[in-house]
Structure 1
């Protein structure tokens, strides 16, 4: 008889990911996984090459230089920074450290699927908060999340901006929400896409951390910095949470190459600002074309992707459109796993890529 895993792990789903190839197509437009359109900056690439020259030595396990660089760029205390192998590692560790068998973790109904996987991996039960708003402006259901709180609640995972919706929770609403949560419930704000946000009332949540409001803010180098392949994320957390994460984090979780490239990248906030502006311009132009030319519903986005829904009268529904675009080499993401079967998520590529994607959509639709 083979060894048995814990029973609560046996039916755990595998996190779905988008396609990266389409057999039979000569050209791929990769708009399925919310990756950055730009490669790592020249400084990040140069730092990675230099780190390779000393890769025979173990990397830093304290990540002190990267923490200092992050603190300078984001105006936080380096003592409150914890670096992980992508923010996904930190999500998993928070779930394991603060939730367990018999506990509950609140997640948005249309939120990042890895939250529920990590909750179940820890033995806790995910509880889903129904999104607020109508089809034209879905967002994380703040009141639904508050209504779902019980004495068993240990964590609330709030992705802001939300993946896959692209919408966000405003500063005032975020602070009011934290104020209504019980003090012993940890609020984890996943800001993987926060660097793309331009709304005046957007707040990544660092003030809540600094105010000691039992809040953790997560960020990543995978998106706007273009370092998805190096797997680096970080948390801004209160001292008590930092202490716990440092105890459960695997030593040497980040390679020397990853540390060097991330440190160089985070020092280039002018590059980040330029990428944010370009993303906003290309994203909004693409959304406007989908709405004006095809009558699609496109949620307003503060991220590097769009949630797109063909109208009821369109010649192709979301499933058929997905298959048709794949045949054209344009890879997008079906949203059935996120309880949005009528919609697709389309990442923002270059201006040229989005032009090709728009033409492909029109071709598939027969417009």
Structure 2
């Protein structure tokens, strides 16, 4: 009889990933995985090459240059309270491992990022999904429903802000009120992977809440606006005690030298990042307006590099048919069935040219 995994692992779902390739060699427009459509800058490519020259040596375990650069870039943070991981998903798993054991619970919004539940189960805990609120036709994070679901077993609340897959945000005032209403012994984990895209002045990623207490952690990533998804670099800003706990379980030398060097170089070009932010907003808003002009399609207001489109009863085709027909034409979108939204698709914002092609493909399917 072969070795058996522990039951909590054997029953874990595998996180669904959007398709990004197909046989045949035709052009694929990948709008399924919320990647940045722009290639890394020349400075980043040069840093990658330099980092690769030293691949015979272990990477900087202290990650000092990266943590110091993050601290400066994001508002004079304390670098000693920054912990770097292999993408922010690595840090989600480590936080669940550290703060949610067997018999414990985490609370997650019903349309929250799927990996929150997977990380909870992998740690032996039980994820609890709370209801969504409806603002017009807009589902979102419901603080009241989350607070009502708190039990003595609750250890962590996971909140992706901005939301993946919805693209909505919880503003500064509501977020601050929510943290104040949570019991002090419950850890609030704010996954702010898409925060760099937000232009709304009422948005707060959460670093201020981290500085205000000892029970909140903010997660950020280089995978999105920085365009380093293939290099896997994320970071957490945490109270001193939580940062120390994470360092006890983080893998030594977890981020390779080329990735460290590329992330530092990417931060040293804030003008490029600002240009990407505004370019994304222009392309996203134009594409969303084009989608709303199609029959039976509604699109949530988005603060991210993707839009959440729902194909209503008046649409000529449902979401599943739109997905299949768009894929056949080389435009890859992301079905939202795993998030309990089978009538919806999440569509990443690519280049202007890619979104023009996507619009024409969708118009041909629906018009």
Interval containing the TM-score (normalised by the shorter chain): over 0.9
Aligned to 1:324: 325
Task: State the 1:62 CA deviation.
Answer: 0.7
- What SS does structure 2 have at the residue aligned with 1:326? helix
Aligned to 1:116: 117
Aligned to 2:52: 52
- What SS does structure 2 have at the residue aligned with 1:44? helix
Provide the C-alpha distance between the structure 2 equivalents of 1:153 and 1:293, rounded to a whole number of angstroms.
Answer: 44
Aligned to 2:78: 77
- Native 8 Å contact 1:136 1:298 kept in 2: no
- Native 8 Å contact 2:296 2:313 kept in 1: no
Provide the C-alpha distance between the structure 2 equivalents of 1:122 and 1:22, rounded to a whole number of angstroms.
Answer: 35
- Native 8 Å contact 1:25 1:327 kept in 2: no
Task: State the 1:38 CA deviation.
Answer: 0.7
Provide the C-alpha distance between the structure 1 equivalents of 2:12 and 2:353, rounded to a whole number of angstroms.
Answer: 39
Provide the C-alpha distance between the structure 1 equivalents of 2:148 and 2:289, rounded to a whole number of angstroms.
Answer: 36
Provide the C-alpha distance between the structure 2 equivalents of 1:137 and 1:293, rounded to a whole number of angstroms.
Answer: 19
- Native 8 Å contact 2:312 2:343 kept in 1: no
CA deviation profile, 1:170-229 (whole Å, cap 9, x unmatched): 000000000000000000000000000111111101000011241000000000000000
Task: State the 1:294 CA deviation.
Answer: 3.4
- Native 8 Å contact 1:31 1:347 kept in 2: yes
Aligned to 1:128: 129
What aligned pairs does 1:144-155 form with structure 2 within 5 A after superposition? 144-155=145-156
Aligned to 2:356: 355
Aligned to 2:312: 311
- Native 8 Å contact 2:295 2:314 kept in 1: no
Provide the C-alpha distance between the structure 1 equivalents of 2:325 and 2:181, rounded to a whole number of angstroms.
Answer: 46
Aligned to 1:235: 236
- What SS does structure 1 have at the residue aligned with 2:138? coil
What aligned pairs does 1:189-204 form with structure 2 within 5 A after superposition? 189-204=190-205
- Native 8 Å contact 1:209 1:216 kept in 2: yes
* TM-score, scaled to structure 1: 0.98
Provide the C-alpha distance between the structure 2 equivalents of 1:212 and 1:146, rounded to a whole number of angstroms.
Answer: 19
What aligned pairs does 1:14-93 form with structure 2 within 5 A after superposition? 14-24=14-24, 26-75=26-75, 76-93=77-94
Provide the C-alpha distance between the structure 2 equivalents of 1:306 and 1:13, rounded to a whole number of angstroms.
Answer: 25
- What SS does structure 2 have at the residue aligned with 1:126? strand
CA deviation profile, 1:105-127 (whole Å, cap 9, x unmatched): 00111011000000000111000
What aligned pairs does 1:263-342 form with structure 2 within 5 A after superposition? 263-342=264-343
- Native 8 Å contact 2:296 2:314 kept in 1: no
- Native 8 Å contact 1:232 1:258 kept in 2: yes
- What SS does structure 1 have at the residue aligned with 2:61? coil
- After superposing the two structures, state which structure 1 stretch, 292-301 or 234-243, moved more: 292-301
Provide the C-alpha distance between the structure 2 equivalents of 1:310 and 1:8, rounded to a whole number of angstroms.
Answer: 36
- What SS does structure 1 have at the residue aligned with 2:312? coil
Task: State the 1:37 CA deviation.
Answer: 1.0
Aligned to 2:5: 5
Task: State the 1:135 CA deviation.
Answer: 6.3
Task: State the 1:274 CA deviation.
Answer: 0.6
What aligned pairs does 1:134-213 form with structure 2 within 5 A after superposition? 134=135, 136-213=137-214
Task: State the 1:24 CA deviation.
Answer: 4.4
RMSD: 1.0
